[in-house]
A and B are shown apart, each in its own frame.
Chain A
Amino acid sequence: MSAIAAKAGADAGAFQPVPSIIALVLAIIVIAVGFVLGVGQTLCLIVLGAALIAFGVHFVPVGGAPAAMGQAPGIATGVPMLAAGAGLAGLFGGAWAAELGLAVALAGGAIGGALMMAITCLMVNMSYVFGMGIPPASGKIEKDPLTGYTQPEFKSQGTEGHGLPFISYVGGVIGGLLGGLGGTLIYLELLAFYEAVMPAADAVGLAGILAVAMFLVIAVLAAYNITGTIEGPHDPKFKRFPRAIIAAILASALCGILALLLMVLA
């Protein structure tokens, strides 16, 4: 079944209070355990980084397989992979600037992720416009809220749109910004924690690999919430983000406490 055929049910994206409350209670218990072990503050910031990543993934316009045939708007690749590509490019910049202080490193990570998305999204539109003669058009909205461009008449027959209208482009840049920021925050918190107990070179390696791993966990979780494709902040699926943030809080609390316990128990 293609991503287009897999239409979500009427309430597939609806907020479900009972599982959400259970997830939040479990996350609070894990964080409380973290405070008992003396790693609570670090754990809280890791959870914050994960929440930023989960929120950011929802901004990234991803069209998957239908976008590769010009059948749907977005970037023609998978949600978690594109988000991870941007987030890790941000992490690269943030890690590089780590010695310049927390604020510069966080900003460097955010800008690194946004820069990767800005270039990728531009090349996607260049490819559609100059390689295939197709103008960008959204399938989810009548009018681009940023440019005021009407969309339906620029959608070719039998498709749900194609390319990246400007709102999707901006969404991609914001997604990269939040992903890079969240990934760098997780990395810096883990790095500060590990540097206190092991040689700097080992701490960088361990913090780096765990930050990458945590990024992938959160990006995949958010992708499950999106189910297939999303056009960006104007897509109705964007409203599902609170559910992904709650899931990310629980998942990152668990992953985070395990990453920190490596050292507390060692």
Chain B
Amino acid sequence: MQEIIIGIGVTALAGALAAVAGAAEDTESNIGSQGDPNSQVQLAPQMGYTHRIYNKAVSGEPPAYTLWVTLACGVAWAFLMMGMNAILAIVLGTVLATIVQGVYATTAYLGRTASLSKFGQPVFTDVLKSVTTVTMGHAFVAIFTTVVICYLLATVIGHPFSLPLLGIVWGLALGAAGSATGNPYYGKERQYQNQKFGAGVPISASGNIVRYAEAGQRSSIDNGFFTAKFGGPASGLCFGLIVFFELWRTVLFEHYLAGWGAVIAGAVIIIIFMVIDRYVEKWARENYGPYTEA
């Protein structure tokens, strides 16, 4: 019984940490402009729209976060094996991973922006100085919380995988959840605020991203400010639900029906989410109506 109660506590804590991780991951990737929407930041100067948006698509978000979380997990694990205090070991691992993220962000911005010089796109050193540290701060939060989840799974819950291996699994899942949920909100809603609300961006408008703010040119930090109101929390909810339900169904129901209890509980949760999705689609069609007559 005690084992189950501790398991439920860890499940709740891991779910909450995952929600923070997802929100920080999405905000970091939007401020730094990583992931699929960055294709427009890269495309804009080629269409004649030079800008001051950061441009650090090191890779897709999932492999990038796999690298950073696994690196932090690996370093923390090495320190733990040396007998270091767990919190200190995780913080040191995360600091190192964040520095690596900062190096990648810097070289990516310089390299990608310099490659656009023939289209008249300047490299802004003040953008580099002001935005890089902000992305590093958000990356620290995302990496730290994910490593803590992995640590809880490896030590308290007793998952057979070692800390670095859990880092690969949950780093990739974090990037996948964050990019899947958060990317459209940054790509469509923020970069193309000049397009109609409630419709996709016409392909002919590609590259014509919003480059000016209320005063002066738009800064990438303002993009994070905007997406933190919806895209970030939605990504946090997505990753939080994934971690929470994955643990919850196993911790509570694994003891029933020789392990099949967790499988059945998972299947029931999937069906519930399917019903909710069906309702969301129905609601959207009824309330927004068709764009054109069929």
Contacts and interface: CB of A to CB of B under 8 A. Distances in A.
Interface stretch (B79-87, B136-144, B211-219, B276-284): B276-284
B285 A154 contact: yes
A119 B237 CA distance: 9
Interface in B230-268: 230-231, 234-235, 237-238, 241-242, 245-246, 249-250, 254, 258-260, 262-263, 266-267
Nearest to A111: B266
Interface centre among A69, A92, A169, A212 (most CB of B within 10 A): A69
B294 A70 contact: no
Interface string A132-146: 111110000000000
B96 interface: no
Contacts of B169: 88-89, 91-92, 212
B133 interface: no
A187 to B, nearest CB: 10
B242 A77 contact: no
A179 B234 CA distance: 25
Contacts of A209: 165, 168
Contact of A122 (B39, B184, B276, B290): B276
Interface string A74-98: 0111100110111011011101111
A2 B202 CA distance: 14
A18 interface: no
**Chain A interface category by residue count:** 35 or more
Interface in A99-118: 100-101, 104, 107-108, 111-112, 114-116, 118
Given A88-B168, A88-B172, A157-B199, A69 B160 contact: no
A203 to B, nearest CB: 10
**Chain B interface category by residue count:** 35 or more
A135 B285 contact: yes
A95 B160 contact: yes
Contact of B274 (A78, A88, A158, A170): A170
A121 interface: yes
A164 B39 CA distance: 21
Contact of A129 (B160, B284, B293): B284
Given A69-B40, A86-B176, A129-B283, A119 B187 contact: no
A101 B254 CA distance: 12
B176 A120 contact: yes
B159 A127 contact: no
Contacts of B172: 81, 84-85, 88
Contacts of B224: none
B225 interface: no
Nearest to A110: B263
Given A69-B201, A107-B260, A150 B294 contact: yes
Majority-rule SS of A interface residues: helix
Interface string A39-76: 00000000000000000000000001111111100011
A124 B200 CA distance: 14
Contacts of A245: none
Interface in B5-48: 35-37, 39-40, 43
B184 A70 contact: yes
Interface stretch (B55-63, B98-106, B118-126): B55-63
Nearest to B42: A65
Given A81-B60, A82-B176, A116-B177, 12 more contacts: A2-B39, A68-B186, A81-B179, A88-B173, A89-B173, A114-B270, A116-B246, A126-B234, A147-B281, A156-B200, A162-B200, A208-B161
Closest 7 CB pairs of A and B: A158-B202, A85-B176, A70-B200, A68-B187, A133-B198, A100-B259, A156-B199
Interface of B: 35-37, 39-40, 43, 60-63, 159-162, 165-166, 168-170, 172-173, 175-177, 179-189, 191-192, 197-206, 230-231, 234-235, 237-238, 241-242, 245-246, 249-250, 254, 258-260, 262-263, 266-267, 269-270, 273-274, 276-278, 280-281, 283-285, 288, 290-294
